[in-house]
Structure 1
């Protein structure tokens, strides 16, 4: 099969590119490298440095061949930044996705898998696992932008027959177990790599945002999903949308608090994590845990890295081997 991956130089995108290659498919990557890394794209994979905000350039790439599917990862993705710059997030994520979807329709692409988010459910303070039919109430402009795109995809299917899978995943983490790819955001904002860097002495004390949430230890609770398990779900979703569009939540189904992440890093690394309490971040709900039973039932997907220590171990190994991240 021939697949086009937008944002394929980023964290989740690059791991999905590897999974597609491992499955024997041909892959092409489109990325503007605003946050991704050219060296995260495997050697030999065709690469186009194109900004999806440019419709004509996007359509030129989409129109190059008959793709068996498009996987869309490219987006601004920081909840906190979206609260400070809401119009930037709403405009950028919506327009770039709209351009890509319009190009797919014009070039007769039949399937697209969309990297959505659990931030769709970010409004209420939840304590139960969240199913796909839960009330959608984004708690941030980032989540709102993803909801807008899901609605565009609904009409792209209803009117043009563009089958789609909206994958609402929770906290992606970890790294390729054999070291081919890892997590390298600049600046880094995700808890697990920040905690690892604090343990390794590569940064000052970790800031723990919020210690007064209504949770078992006062810190936020999140559902961490290994990035390779996430990539596997994307491939399974491609097979699932031959006949109908779908929406799936992707997570392990169990939540770990921020303090439990610190404890996990200390266990796995054998090092103490220095940390200090800090104020809550606006837009952060207390608990986000996935109910992924629909995905499991319909695709047979099961996480291979279900325990937090397993996820942390792969992330630690990659960061130890790449102290400066990707070379470019």
Structure 2
């Protein structure tokens, strides 16, 4: 059967997908990845990144798939989130459900299975256990939205002639849950995995009905062919207290509890579900030590498949640009458009980190803020601004590169210029939260010269202890400007030169996240050649198993070999050519009695000398092909073999290379066009190039002119190196000097509808060139420009804070 699962990349949805695939069904998944992750998905499932509130896109997907059964799990699931923002909760849970129901009817689907909530639709239940016939009396906005969804399912399915089944979940637990869910079992397991002390709220005697996620998935599978026009409670049929759960956690982990004050008891009557959907669907909750150990292991494994960012909470920003897709976007609503104007620094902030600049993007994970500084230290700061830990990772002294960061002596000393990535991995025999970051160099903490290298370094994210270091090239010529991506148990990072003094062979390396061992290497230019550094960071399309990088300019590299160098050897070549001419003269005037031998010796000497002279003078300029310099390159994530690439035309080159990171997004490019999986990346030539990910080698499908580029120094307002952002609906791009409405501005940010890239939705003239990455949150766009941090309205670009 052809099935479609909304929210199929999430905690419960991904298990439903597994169950459907295991039963031989064809499965398509729709998910906006707000809380889900592509790493949760089986590669056999067809994936569409879309929001259920986007009716045209949902209609398009349903028309394409034509599912016989629709399993609607996409939802805003946080009770607290619904209380703080009931309008957003209703938009997703009510209007999103309407969108799915209309699309199902339009695609002539046969059945809809709707995920509801047994914990909220009944409200304060009068009797225990709570049967499906109990009046629906929600007391929270989330419960209201779920009840409304149930009513719309009944009415609209009846009107369209569709059958339906409503499943009201108990408290679901199991692998792939995330801490942001605020589920008590997941919170305990997350604390154990990260070496933290779990906390019990109230007296711990509050009891709920807990049900294993795979049992919930099995109920969906049974509901495909049973339970039409009915609602069923999906639970264990029993209640268990938090203390009962916690005792097993304490026994296994050796931690003590912190008691706070009591909730309520609730268990669901599941006799109807057992009768209609099968008696083995739901099992009684048994949380023995063996189950605990299995779930702890599952929590570690599911959070990574080796190592991944899948366990990041909604409030986290665990890596450069937030995620491996380079979206630059969070769904966290701690700051909204209404409160942006009143922002102020809390006590303890700002924090000065050494006496050097900070050019990394701060990241947030584990309740800490991580930042690397040019003083060579990586810092972990608490929310009150105090230092949890700091670790010296190295500094590199090399050529002079910029007024803003130079020292008073010749040359520049750079510290940590790579933004870290926090992920969970098993390192040195223990599953832990790990910070991966570029570092190393040729100066120790006291400033003394040392023999060192540019390195990828793994640290314990909670203590700052160094777990492993992997050298990637000798210092001072090599430096890790790139920020790592952690995917499927591996760390991907670019290797570059310190600056153009000298260039080094650019590379993308893949390292084992647990050990730092080298797994694969992509050389951007042939061995012995220089350049094509990866100054930006890798972007990963997990669904396609591909990695994207954009490269810098390279030096000419002779076809005769790197030993010849890249510049003509004028002096030595001229000497040899002079000797060749002398040999010719000797051949002409050689005595007749020696004519035969002397003539031919002179001629052969002249030819040899001329050839060597030409080799030294012309050979270095006869360059081999360097197809991956100044290019966007698509690589296989498994072995880093090139799939395809596109090189900036010579008319665009000069020093106009890529110094940025690609962004993945989707759209039609032009109104009425076919929806495509897209990628965008800015160039120092002032262009923002947009590619169809299925045809990168064919060149850009659109080019947006961002900034003038009469010179190639982005710090002086030319071109762009600022990574873009995509919030699921709008693409935001930025750069240096340009014109807006006939007026020159030193920098700008523009918003584009990805379905119409010909005209911006709005533009904002910045106070200076936008060099850093754009970041977005619901209703907000954040940029650094000149000396300012500016918050803009994502709706129309209106400045909200500066």
Provide TM-score, normalisation by structure 1: 0.86
Q: Secondary structure at the match of 1:109?
A: coil
Aligned partner of 1:209 in structure 2 is 201
Q: CA deviation at 1:305?
A: 4.7
1:326 to 1:249, Cα distance in 2 relative to 1, 3 A: farther
| 1:275 aligned onto 2:269 | no
Q: CA deviation at 1:172?
A: 0.6
2:111–2:224: 8 Å Cα contact kept in structure 1? yes
Deviations 1:94-132 (A, max 9, x none): 111110111111221110101101134452155611110
1:318 to 1:119, Cα distance in 2 relative to 1, 3 A: same
Q: Secondary structure at the match of 2:200?
A: strand
Of 190, 193, 196 in structure 1, the residue corresponding to residue 183 of structure 2 is: 190
Q: For 1:273 and 1:197, how far apart are their aligned partners in 2?
A: 14
For 1:27-66, what aligned pairs fall within 5 Å after superposition? 27-66=27-66
Q: CA deviation at 1:90?
A: 2.0
Q: For 2:23 and 2:199, how far apart are their aligned partners in 1?
A: 40
Q: For 1:72 and 1:93, how far apart are their aligned partners in 2?
A: 10
For 1:1-328, what aligned pairs fall within 5 Å after superposition? 1-124=1-124, 128-175=128-175, 182-185=176-179, 187-203=180-196, 205-211=197-203, 219-241=205-227, 244-267=228-251, 270-278=252-260, 286-303=264-281, 305-309=283-287, 312-322=292-302, 326-327=308-309
Q: CA deviation at 1:315?
A: 2.2
Q: CA deviation at 1:320?
A: 3.4
1:193–1:315: 8 Å Cα contact kept in structure 2? no
Q: CA deviation at 1:279?
A: 5.3
Deviations 1:264-322 (A, max 9, x none): 3234xx21244323357xxxx61221111011111224246533326544422212335
Q: Secondary structure at the match of 1:63?
A: helix
Q: For 1:7 and 1:53, how far apart are their aligned partners in 2?
A: 12
Q: For 2:188 and 2:40, how far apart are their aligned partners in 1?
A: 22
Q: Secondary structure at the match of 1:114?
A: strand
1:126 to 1:11, Cα distance in 2 relative to 1, 3 A: farther
1:126–1:288: 8 Å Cα contact kept in structure 2? no
1:322 to 1:105, Cα distance in 2 relative to 1, 3 A: closer
Q: For 1:14 and 1:31, how far apart are their aligned partners in 2?
A: 10
Q: Secondary structure at the match of 1:136?
A: coil
Q: For 1:236 and 1:9, how far apart are their aligned partners in 2?
A: 20
Deviations 1:155-175 (A, max 9, x none): 113222121111001011123
Aligned partner of 1:178 in structure 2 is none
| TM superposition outliers: structure 1 runs of 4+ over 6 Å | none
Deviations 1:203-247 (A, max 9, x none): 3x3332322xxxxxx632111101011000001111015xx3110
1:70 to 1:121, Cα distance in 2 relative to 1, 3 A: closer
1:30 to 1:64, Cα distance in 2 relative to 1, 3 A: same
The structure with the largest alpha-carbon Rg is: 2
1:80 to 1:209, Cα distance in 2 relative to 1, 3 A: farther
Q: CA deviation at 1:201?
A: 4.5
Q: For 2:88 and 2:199, how far apart are their aligned partners in 1?
A: 26
Q: For 1:23 and 1:200, how far apart are their aligned partners in 2?
A: 33
1:174–1:313: 8 Å Cα contact kept in structure 2? no
Aligned-pair Cα RMSD in Å? 2.1
Q: For 1:74 and 1:232, how far apart are their aligned partners in 2?
A: 18
Q: CA deviation at 1:261?
A: 1.2
Provide TM-score, normalisation by structure 2: 0.37
Aligned partner of 1:214 in structure 2 is none
1:198–1:274: 8 Å Cα contact kept in structure 2? no
1:150 to 1:322, Cα distance in 2 relative to 1, 3 A: closer
1:170–1:225: 8 Å Cα contact kept in structure 2? yes
Unaligned segments of structure 2, at least 5 residues: 311-802
Q: For 2:241 and 2:43, how far apart are their aligned partners in 1?
A: 38
Q: CA deviation at 1:191?
A: 0.7
Q: For 2:138 and 2:181, how far apart are their aligned partners in 1?
A: 23
Q: CA deviation at 1:200?
A: 4.0
Q: Secondary structure at the match of 2:258?
A: strand
Q: Secondary structure at the match of 1:135?
A: coil
Q: For 2:281 and 2:275, how far apart are their aligned partners in 1?
A: 13
Name the one with the larger helix percent: 1
Q: For 2:118 and 2:270, how far apart are their aligned partners in 1?
A: 12
Between 7-16 and 78-87, report the one with greater CA deviation.
78-87
Q: For 1:82 and 1:127, how far apart are their aligned partners in 2?
A: 26
2:3–2:69: 8 Å Cα contact kept in structure 1? yes
Whose RCO is larger (CA < 8 A, sep 6+)?
A: 1
1:125–1:286: 8 Å Cα contact kept in structure 2? no
Q: For 1:83 and 1:272, how far apart are their aligned partners in 2?
A: 36
1:21–1:27: 8 Å Cα contact kept in structure 2? yes
Q: Secondary structure at the match of 2:119?
A: helix
1:70–1:112: 8 Å Cα contact kept in structure 2? yes
Q: For 1:133 and 1:312, how far apart are their aligned partners in 2?
A: 34
Aligned partner of 1:179 in structure 2 is none
Q: CA deviation at 1:258?
A: 1.0
2:132–2:232: 8 Å Cα contact kept in structure 1? yes
Q: Secondary structure at the match of 1:210?
A: coil
Unaligned segments of structure 1, at least 5 residues: 176-181, 212-217
